[in-house]
């Protein structure tokens, strides 16, 4: 499905496949998302997992999913940083506990920068933030 989306994007005026790859490859990012899959969904409305839904996370306000119980650390972080920018997500995904030391998310992070870029590209394609 993702490959079809990429192909579609490439047909839009002013947007090329090369641009998509410079920012990461969403098709590869879908595979990287397997690191997140057990606790997070990108399907709209699927909010019954242990982590918040990540559909539209790029650009979304931090700790803003209604009804989700965020850790005290993440709520405090939301007072310092407003939104999940690409740059902030990249830093966070590299080592979540270094950006938010008391985060309750155990996942140690995605070490490879190209994998993080691919993952963020995939997350961007899941939708715009609310």
- Residues that bind other proteins in the complex, under the rule CB under 8 A: 31, 34-35, 37-39, 48-50, 69, 71-73, 97, 102, 104, 106, 108, 111
Closest CA to 65 of 48, 81, 80: 48
- Which tokens belong to 71? 């850790």
In whole angstroms, the minimum distance from the beta carbon of 1 to other proteins comes to: 17
> For other proteins, which is the closer residue by CB, 59 or 107?
107
In whole angstroms, the minimum distance from the beta carbon of 36 to other proteins comes to: 9
Q: Are 32 and 24 in contact (CB under 8 A)?
A: no
In whole angstroms, the minimum distance from the beta carbon of 11 to other proteins comes to: 30
Q: How far apart are CA 100 and CA 88, in angstroms?
A: 11
> For other proteins, which is the closer residue by CB, 35 or 90?
35
In whole angstroms, the minimum distance from the beta carbon of 102 to other proteins comes to: 6
> For other proteins, which is the closer residue by CB, 3 or 75?
75
Q: Are 33 and 42 in contact (CB under 8 A)?
A: yes
Largest CA distance in the chain: 44
Closest CA to 84 of 100, 69, 72, 102: 100
> For other proteins, which is the closer residue by CB, 9 or 104?
104
């Amino acid at each position: 499905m993702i490959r079809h989306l990429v192909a579609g994007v490439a047909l839009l005026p002013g947007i090329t496949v090369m641009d998509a790859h410079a920012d990461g490859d969403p098709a590869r990012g879908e595979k990287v998302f397997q690191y997140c899959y057990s606790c997070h969904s990108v399907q709209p409305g699927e909010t019954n997992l242990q982590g918040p839904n990540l559909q539209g996370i790029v650009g979304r306000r931090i700790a803003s999913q209604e009804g989700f119980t965020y850790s005290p650390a993440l709520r405090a972080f939301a007072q310092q940083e407003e939104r999940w920018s690409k740059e902030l997500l990249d830093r966070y995904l590299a080592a979540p506990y270094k950006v938010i030391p008391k985060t309750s998310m155990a996942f140690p992070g995605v070490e490879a920068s190209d994998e993080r870029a691919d993952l963020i590209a995939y997350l961007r394609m899941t939708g715009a933030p609310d």
